[in-house]
Amino acid sequence: MQKPSLPDMVINYPPGPKSRSPLGHLFEFARNPLAFLVDVAAAYGDIAHFKIRKRDVYLLVHPEDVQEVLVTRQRHFVKNPGFQTIKKILGEGLLSSEGTFHLRQRRMIQPIFHKHKVANYGEIMLERLVSFEKRWKDGSQISMDQEMARLTLEIVGKALFGAEVGGRTDQISTALNDAMSLFHHITSPAALIRDRIPFLKDRRFERGKERLDIEIVEIIRSYRREESDTGSLLNLLIEARDEEDPQARMTDEQIRDEALTLLLAGHETTAVALTWVWYLLSQHPEVEAELHEELNRVLAGRQPVVDDIPQLTLTARILEETLRLYPPVYMLGRQTLEDFPARGYIIPAGSSVIVSPFITQRDARFFPEPERFNPQRWTPENRSRLPKFAFFPFGGGQRVCIGEPFARQESILILAALGQVWSARTVPGYRADVQPRVTLRPRGGMPMILKKR
């Protein structure tokens, strides 16, 4: 039973922007949620309060408070009500489910992403890289964001569905395209407004979701009928067991929800991170030269393999620094189930709480010269001095990204394989800006010119 909140008359709100509108700061937040939150943090510090419609929203910045929300008191929170939007496509997947069901699903899926099992997908990653790279031409202009999205989608699609899909290649392609269109449609900031106005709802996406469900479930059923072990993630989901109830398996619908979550969440975030890696290297040729030296020394012209990763220390640090500056998931929202103390205030039950990797990871108290791209921040000595949760691009606690090992391995192999052959520069006159939607994409894409080393 939810603990009642404190009466409004005794609530001592922390400072924050005021609004006389009955919608509060809905339009400012919907227009550009990240810019709004950055301005709020700059003006009001470690805790701030504002309104979206009638809902009280609190922004927490300090790593200590982030840890309280994500770990120490995580059982006192659930996903924000706005996350119901994600359920329109992901159903009850790990990203959107709650409570005991979420814990059960996580227990069943966690073994799939143990480090030794993730290493088995290195060959798939490299296989897709080889065929992908053949499309790149010296001197050609590309949209790097689209290229990385295509590559990571091919990798996760192959890892998820495997080689044998019962001749349903076209159906899978259709399902993936439908999924991506749906995902970006329902997660745009404008959806905060659009989906509450009946005549603005787009029924095409509801029909697309129905088609997507049918296609994915049929793929799952074909796997069950054939009873073949392709080594795919889908096979592992079908065979997954709950250690507390070994007879329990996931239904086709549950597998569908988890497959879509792995497909969309995994592909999108990795593609966005790699896009920003290429951008930052283009702006810092001295770091790129150091990267090339490491790749020459470790790889000597051959394709990287999973066993090379421990030696690719600068490659990994470049990825970490990119995730610090441009975390694909730039904010995390929770709803309090009971009154929550923070910074000398009481956040009442039923309030929304936001923590932002983008904001905390650019805080000069924890990262000197926070706007500067400096991969050497991530030496073991420097990392050891950081407070816990000064850096949390994958979230934390029981809801930490389950695919983090897969994403890190994939990102390092992609950067190493392509980086030893290719450089990329932004087109003349291009100025990078962020477009905060469900992930932190570059506004207008990332046009770049390829140069073969």
E-only strand ranges, 288-342: 332-336, 340-342
Kindly tell me the number of DSSP H helices and DSSP E strands found in the chain: 18, 12
CB 110 within 8 A of CB 402: yes
CA atoms within 13 A on the CB side of 185: 18
224: number of Cβ within 10 Å = 10
Compute the Cα dihedral for 62, 63, 66, 68 and give only its sign: negative
Q: How far apart are CA 331 and CA 234, in angstroms?
A: 29
Q: What is the 3-state composition of the chain as percent helix, strand, coil, each rounded to the nearest 5?
A: 55, 10, 35
Whose tokens are 């975030």? That residue is 269
Residue 422: name the closest of 137, 152, 155 by CA.
137
Residues 6 or more apart in contact with residue 63 via CB below 8 angstroms: 360, 366, 387, 388, 389, 390
In angstroms, the Cα distances linking 61 to 51, 69, 368 are 17, 11, 16
Q: How far apart are CA 322 and CA 284, in angstroms?
A: 12
CB 29 within 8 A of CB 36: yes
Q: How far apart are CA 306 and CA 123, in angstroms?
A: 8
CB 262 within 8 A of CB 308: no
Give the per-residue pLDDT at 151. 92
How do beta strands 77-79 and 440-442 pair?
unpaired
* pLDDT tens, position by position, 126-147: 988 988 999 999 999 999 999 9
Report CA 298 to chain centroid distance, whole Å.
Answer: 29
Q: What is the dihedral of CA 260, 261, 265, 271, to 10 degrees?
A: -40
Q: How far apart are CA 297 and CA 299, in angstroms?
A: 6
Q: How far apart are CA 394 and CA 401, in angstroms?
A: 5
Q: How far apart are CA 443 and CA 453, in angstroms?
A: 28
Give the per-residue pLDDT at 1. 44
Give the per-residue pLDDT at 215. 76
Residues 6 or more apart in contact with residue 68 via CB below 8 angstroms: 340, 342
What would you report as the CA-atom Rg of the chain, rounded to the nearest whole angstrom?
22
CB burial of 381-399 (b: ≥16 within 10 Å; e: otherwise) equals eeeeeeeebbbbbbbbbeb
Q: What are the helix (H) ranges across 45-143?
A: 63-67, 84-90, 99-109, 115-119, 122-133
Residue 8: name the closest of 240, 439, 346 by CA.
346
CB burial of 108-131 (b: ≥16 within 10 Å; e: otherwise) equals bbeebbeeeebbebbebbbebbee
Q: How far apart are CA 181 and CA 138, in angstroms?
A: 31
CB burial of 192-221 (b: ≥16 within 10 Å; e: otherwise) equals bebeeeeeeeeeebeebbeebbebbbbbbe
Q: Any idea where the domains of the chain sit in the sequence? A: 8-452
CB 138 within 8 A of CB 434: no
CATH fold group of domain 8-452? Cytochrome p450 (1.10.630)
Query: What parts of the chain have a pLDDT lower than 70?
Result: 1-11, 82-85, 163-206, 208, 227-230
